[in-house]
Amino acid sequence: MRWNDLRRIGNSPVARASIIVPVLGYLILFHSDLINYLQFHSSFCKDCTVSWRLHFLYFACCSFAVGSILYAWRCPEVIKSYQTARDFFESEHVYFCHPQNISYLFELFAREGAEPSDPFNLLALANDSKGLGKEQASMLSGLMGQHYFVQNRRRFWSRIAVATAYALGFFLLAIPAVVTFGQVLGRFIGW
C-alpha cells in the first residue's frame, strides 16, 4: 500500500474528525461521574451500562484516530497535497523552472539518498541560463514524477501502521453493523 492509496482516507474530513472522538467518547461514555449523575438524577438512565456496540464504536474511532495522527505526522507533504504525480507537475512545474528551485529539487533527492536520472541535464541547463524555457519545462515532468514516486514509497513501516489502524477501525465498525443487520433481517423475516 502506497501513501497515495492511504490519502483518500487520511485527507478526508471524517478521518480528521475521528481524532476528537476518543476524547469525547471517554468524557461521555466512560466517565463514571456522568453515569452516576444520570442514575441518581434522572429516570432516563436506571440501569446505565455501556453496550458492547458503543465499545466497538469507541475503539474503532480510536483506531481511526491513531491512523489519522500517524498519517498527518509521517505522510510526505507532496502526497498529502497532490493525488497524482501529474497533479504535482501541473501545479508546481512553473516554480521548479527557476534555477534555485530546480537545484532544491535535486537536493530533495540527495536528502533521500536517491540519485535522480537527469537525461536532459536539466540541472546544468537551469544553472547556465536564467531558468528552464517552455521546451525544457516538459522535460522536468520526468524528474518531478521521480520525486513523487520516491515520496510515495517512503516510510514503509509508517504506511503499514496507518493501513493497519484504518483496517482495524473498519473491522471494528463492521462487527456491530453486521450483527445489527442480522437482527433486523431476522425480525423482518420472522426468525
pLDDT-based confidence at residue 163 (cuts at 50, 70, 90): very high
Q: What is the mean pLDDT of residues 80-109?
A: 84
pTM of the entire structure?
0.75
Report the sign of the C-alpha dihedral through residues 102, 104, 110, 111, in that order. Answer: negative
Whether 190 shows a pLDDT value over 60: the answer reads yes
Mean pLDDT of the chain: 80
Overall average pLDDT of the 97-119 stretch: 77
Distance from first CA to last CA of the chain, Å, rounded?
A: 42
pLDDT at 81 over 70: yes
Q: How many CB atoms lie within 10 A of CB 112?
A: 14
Name the packing angle between helices 134-152 and 85-96 (round to 10°).
Answer: 130
Per-residue pLDDT for 41 more than 60? no
pLDDT over threshold 90, residue 156: yes
139 vs 44, higher pLDDT: 139
Q: Above 80 in pLDDT, residue 167?
A: yes
| Residue pair 172/59 in contact by the 8 Å Cβ criterion | yes
Q: Are 137 and 89 in contact (CB under 8 A)?
A: no
> Residue 103: what pLDDT?
79
Q: What is the mean pLDDT of residues 113-124?
A: 72
Q: How far is it, in rounded angstroms, from Cα 128 to Cα 39?
A: 79
Most confident option among 6-10, 85-89, 124-128, 164-168 = 164-168
